[in-house]
Amino acid sequence: MRLTEEQIRQFDEEGYLFLPDCFSPEEVAALRLEAVSIYDTDRPEVWREKSGSPRTAFAAHTYNEAFRLLGAHPRLIRPVEQLFGEQLYMHQYKINAKSAFDGEVWQWHQDFGTWHRDDGMPEPRAMNISVFLDEVTHINGPLMIVPRSHKHGVFAAGHDLSTTSYPLWTLDNDTVTKLVEAGGIITPVGKPGAMLMFHGNIVHGSAGNITPFPRKIVYLTLNAVSNYIRKPTRPEWIAHQDFTPIVPVADDALLQYAQNYRQAAE
Ligand code: SIN
Ligand code: MN
């Protein structure tokens, strides 16, 4: 899959690109079931909300076959290679739960702010790719993005260690207000299988989920190999130190996996 000139222009100007039909319902069904079984395990990579509900599961591509195939999927890898003009490795991989009733807020932040400060990543040449596992609607805590906020570099941020269970470098209200006055806020919503890519400097966050509808989204952070992290401070399963370039799998690899999965369950 290659991005068109128009898609590249939109990404450069707005800082994000939304592709509503990237994966089929069949491909996503297996991932969704596997995500739930990962949340049910007691492993350090599964991070919990203060309530005990799952918040995120890190590094699933290293211990789960379905998520390994997603992490090397050409529909995700090829467009980012095209934009960066080089091969990629996986900097971070998380399956965010935003659990029904209990999913907590992600405060306003820029991801590159964290990658730079905590991991020693030199440049914002890493891309976030999100793949929806559940339907994301306007009410179950969709990701909120401030278009064009990626044009200003890294903003000053405070290290919030108390609002949620997850430490984050967050932006102050004045900064967010000015950016939103200029760019507004958008909430990409859509069916399972939708894909959203967004720039490492885009300002984003999400509100809590008090609905009965879970909102699971996988986030891959694909870093250009030459932009490997120089000063890791976080565990290897949060900020990976294996800089081996990703070799994409076949385009139908996830579909084959999902079909075998369904047959085994029948
Ligand atoms: C993130 O910013 O890393 C996650 C936000 C979300 O899942 O809502
Ligand atoms: Mn983020």
Please give the model's pTM, rounded to 2 decimal places: 0.96
92 in contact with ligand 1, CB cutoff 6 A: no
DSSP 201: T
Instruction: Report the distance separating Cα 80 and Cα 7, nearest Å.
Output: 12
Strands 203-206 and 126-132: unpaired
List per-residue pLDDT tens for the chain, 266 residues long: 799 999 999 999 999 999 999 999 999 999 999 999 999 999 999 999 889 999 999 999 999 999 999 999 999 999 999 999 999 999 999 999 999 999 999 999 999 999 999 999 999 999 999 999 999 999 999 999 999 999 999 998 888 887 777 778 899 999 999 999 999 999 999 999 999 999 999 999 999 999 999 999 999 999 999 999 999 999 999 999 999 999 999 999 999 999 998 888 77
Q: What is the pLDDT of residue 261?
A: 83
- Would you give the distance in Å from CA 149 to the centre of its chain? 18
Quick one: which atom of ligand 1 is closest to the CA of 141? Answer: 8
User: What is the CA(146)–ligand 2 centre distance, in A?
Assistant: 12
Instruction: Report the distance separating Cα 208 and Cα 220, nearest Å.
Output: 21
Residue partners of 150: CB distance under 8 A and separation at least 6: 15, 124, 198, 199, 200, 201, 202, 203
User: What is the CA(205)–ligand 2 centre distance, in A?
Assistant: 7
DSSP 115: H
| Domain annotation for the chain: domains and CATH numbers | 5-105+125-135+190-199+206-265 (2.60.120.620)
Q: What is the pLDDT of residue 98?
A: 96
Sign of dihedral through CA atoms 179, 184, 187, 188?
Answer: negative
- HEC per residue, 147-189: CCHHHHCCCCCEEECCCCCCCEEECCHHHHHHHHHHHCCECCC
Q: What is the pLDDT of residue 167?
A: 77
106 in contact with ligand 1, CB cutoff 6 A: yes
Closest residue by Cα to atom 4, ligand 1, is: 106
The backbone torsions φ and ψ at residue 107, rounded to the nearest 5 degrees and listed phi first, read -65, 165
